[in-house]
Structure 1
Amino acid sequence: MNLKGSIKSPAFQNLIIGIIILDSIILGALTFSFLKNNSILIAIDRICLLFFCIEMCVKILVLRKEFFLSKWNLFDLFVVVLSALPTTIIGNIAILRLFRVLRAARLSSSVPQLRFVIAVITRSIPSVVSIGVLLLLVYYIYAVLGTQLFATAAPEYFGDLGKSFFTLFQVMTGESWSGAIARPIMRIYPYAWIYFISYMIIVSFIVLNMVIGVIVDSISEIKAQKLERDNKDV
């Protein structure tokens, strides 16, 4: 096997992921006060950083233009460069190396279930963003209404637009919204149930279920495409 094949081999990738996990554990351990100045942990962290730097240099020399065609490689290079810069110049950003754990997603090609999940998430993102914009619009309308209607009765929940947004988020999650928010307001404004029930129906039962629908639709599309490819191969 040539050097290029060795770099792309599963064994080498597993080695990289193992070192990333080790370095992540070391970085976490260094956050504890009694381990903050531990010379052994600091030495291991520096060895890991040196390994990452050598890895990037070898990959660039071997892969050349192909290296820069991969977004994962560019991400790794960006994080390694930031991690290698002196902290006296840009502050302590060594924690950024934790983002290298995301490289584990590159092994998804060897795990069909994980590859499928990542494909579903990627395909669903555009539609989920559109639903998020719709949800934000509903949030804004109800936040303005809530501030105008209940600011006097419940200033801690609807005193201004920011508080109303946070309150509506709490209501959406279902966290103590009925007893702590809705019922006390309904004692002053009996009609307030219309506001809260309509909001719950729109947000919890319609908008959020649309996200589930988008994900289910993406699953169906990906399965259909996979079945079509399999039929062509046969």
Structure 2
Amino acid sequence: MAAFSFQTLQNKFDQLRSNKVFELLVIGVIIVSALIIGVKTFEVPDWFNSALNILDWAITLFFLTEITIRFIGEPRKRDFFKNGWNLFDTLVVTLSLIPIGHQDMALIARLVRVFRVLRMVSIIPELRTLINSLLKALPQLGYVLLMMFVIFYIYAAVGTTLFGAINPTLWGDIAISLLTLFRVMTFEDWTDVMYETMAVHGWSWMYYLSFICLTAFAFLNMVIGIVVNVIENENKAEEAKLHEGEPTLIDIHAELKALRAEIKTLKQ
């Protein structure tokens, strides 16, 4: 009888956790939790701050209840921890419940709940497709980023050797030169850096223009192209799943041809 009652409870929780209204309620509470963190950064009256603390604990209890419902509603409990979002939520709720004596550490633990806003990815299909596309593009992006780092390193070594004496603040060592080159690539007052070195080495404009052409124009466009290509493939895969099982024009023509043959046979 107890097993039957637990099975009934599990089925009800399984239906509840897959209910869209329940998902929207969870997302609403997540947004309210994030807003509370933002409100606490302002100067508010003591009574209002106390009310926010009570609401904060109520939201924490709601999160704990939600995790419990999802765990009990899972037919196979091991599968619950195979989902990355479930692990993330469990970690966030656990950090919110751990009693920490230091006030700053307790605030950091509560701040972790802000990241639960990412749960909206599991509800909005477009966001889910975007995240999947980015993850699938990482292997291809890795080689492009590796090549970009090689270019950065070579130019940083050259820049430190040639321009280190001109401005040690920007070209003092290879690490600082890498930061300076990142500034040049993002076009953040890069002309000021160039004119400073051109006052000593008039040809140094070739150094900057060649670096910008390789990084800002070539490699960044390659990164964008890879991401766009993967997103298009993901969209095509989603459309194929939606239309899976539907007859194509070739199938329809084949069926019509077979029907004509059967009709012809019946007439004979």
**TM-score normalised over the length of structure 1:** 0.89
Cα shift at 1:206: 1.0
Moved more, 58-67 or 142-151: 58-67
1:22 equivalenced with 2:32 (yes/no): yes
Render the CA deviation track for 1:21-65: whole Å, top value 9, x for unaligned. Answer: 101111121122436881001110011011111222222223233
Cα distance in 1, alignment partners of residues 199 and 128 from structure 2: 52
The answer (yes or no) to whether the contact 1:108–1:115 under 8 Å persists in 2 is yes
Q: What letter matches 1:98 in structure 2?
A: V
Instruction: Please identify the structure whose Cα radius of gyration is greater.
Output: 2
Cα distance in 2, alignment partners of residues 168 and 39 from structure 1: 49
Cα shift at 1:205: 1.4
The answer (yes or no) to whether the contact 1:124–1:214 under 8 Å persists in 2 is yes
Report 1:54-65 matches (<5 A): 54-63=65-74, 64-65=77-78
Cα distance in 1, alignment partners of residues 188 and 135 from structure 2: 30
The answer (yes or no) to whether the contact 2:30–2:117 under 8 Å persists in 1 is yes
The answer (yes or no) to whether the contact 2:13–2:72 under 8 Å persists in 1 is no
- The one of 80, 84, 88 equivalent to 1:75 is 88
Aligned to 2:203: 191
- The one of 140, 144, 152 equivalent to 2:157 is 144
Aligned to 1:96: 112
Q: What letter matches 1:43 in structure 2?
A: I
Render the CA deviation track for 1:88-134: whole Å, top value 9, x for unaligned. Answer: 2792221011111111111023xxx3343333222222222322222
Aligned to 1:129: 142
- The one of 51, 55, 60 equivalent to 1:49 is 60
Cα shift at 1:14: 0.5
Q: What letter matches 2:56 in structure 1?
A: D
Report the RMSD for the aligned CA atoms in angstroms: 2.1
Give the SS at the match of 1:191: helix
Cα shift at 1:222: 2.4
The answer (yes or no) to whether the contact 1:139–1:168 under 8 Å persists in 2 is yes
Aligned to 1:39: 50
Q: What letter matches 1:91 in structure 2?
A: M
- The one of 3, 8, 13 equivalent to 2:18 is 8
Aligned to 1:213: 225
The answer (yes or no) to whether the contact 1:30–1:36 under 8 Å persists in 2 is no
The answer (yes or no) to whether the contact 1:182–1:193 under 8 Å persists in 2 is yes
Identity of aligned residues (%): 32
Cα distance in 1, alignment partners of residues 46 and 169 from structure 2: 41
Cα distance in 1, alignment partners of residues 209 and 90 from structure 2: 51
Q: What letter matches 2:92 in structure 1?
A: V
Q: Aligned pair in 2 of structure 1 residues 105, 223: CA closer, same or farther (>3 Å)?
A: closer
Cα distance in 1, alignment partners of residues 100 and 111 from structure 2: 11
Moved more, 123-132 or 71-80: 123-132
Q: Aligned pair in 2 of structure 1 residues 162, 35: CA closer, same or farther (>3 Å)?
A: farther
Q: Aligned pair in 2 of structure 1 residues 133, 40: CA closer, same or farther (>3 Å)?
A: same
Q: Aligned pair in 2 of structure 1 residues 53, 2: CA closer, same or farther (>3 Å)?
A: closer
Cα shift at 1:160: 1.6
Q: What letter matches 2:62 in structure 1?
A: F
Cα distance in 2, alignment partners of residues 223 and 22 from structure 1: 32
Please list every run of 5 or more consecutive structure 2 residues that lacks an aligned counterpart in the other structure: 1-10, 247-268
Q: What letter matches 2:196 in structure 1?
A: P
Cα distance in 1, alignment partners of residues 46 and 111 from structure 2: 14
**TM-score normalised over the length of structure 2:** 0.79
- The one of 163, 185, 210 equivalent to 1:172 is 185
